[in-house]
Amino acid sequence: MENAIDVAANLAAVRRRIDAAAPRESSKDSTVTLVAVSKGHVSSRIRPALAAGQRVFGENRVQEAEGKWPTLKTEYPDTELHLIGPLQTNKVGAAVDLFDVIQSVDRLKLARAITDTLARTGLKRRVFIQVNTGEEPQKSGVLPTEADAFISTCVADLVLPVAGLMCIPPIDEEGALHFALLAQIAQRHNLPCLSMGMSADFESAIRFGATHVRIGTAVFGPRAPANTIAAKR
């Protein structure tokens, strides 16, 4: 019961902060979607958020999500699940089957595989293109200098259902610079959605136009060890 009270209270506090940071205009375009990042958390930790009305969640790995979400989505069929971690092409079929939104498209081979899978299955999914705004070699994402060409190819040539862009700024840099850059790229391509901002900086991201904020720790607390997830999911 303690977990349920903690998660529900945390969720309510985050929602209040989102509302406070959001633009004052009460229009559909200014709505900010909270993506509750449930990676590293067992189903019993996620259910209190579902019971509190949260319906949009994010996971990093296909395999971990497969162990938790088929049952949870059966119980709460209006749940929307986002893949926010890197995706290997050999996992595209499983990802398209389970996830409603894939936020981490970052190379043409992956984009083509998603397009082919959607065409073959007839499933309707949305994707975000991940931009490596900090140009960090260890991080996934299209480089900013290559983003325009990549977006154009995905939209015009592959007819990929691109809803928007996603970024993860370097932890040691001011996030605002990266949020502004992502917003500029999205504006050039008339993409309506911006997934940016996490527990430490989502309020700043909202001020720069974030439509989706990915928040884990502020909602669920510290993640459990990986072996705990495998044993208890």
Amino acid at 104: S
Q: How far is CA 191 from CA 63, 134, 188, in A?
A: 30, 21, 8
> Which residues fall within 8 angstroms of residue 6, CB to CB, at 6 or more apart?
48, 221
pLDDT of 224 reads 64
What is the share, in percent, of the chain residues with pLDDT greater than 70?
91
pTM assigned to the model: 0.92
Q: What is the DSSP letter of 36?
A: E
Q: Checking phi first, is residue 224 left (phi over 0); if not, alpha (psi -120 to 50) or beta?
A: beta
Q: Which residues of the chain have pLDDT under 50?
A: 1-4, 26-29, 227, 229-233
Residue-wise pLDDT for 54-73, tens only, equals 999 999 999 999 999 999 99
pLDDT of 5 reads 56
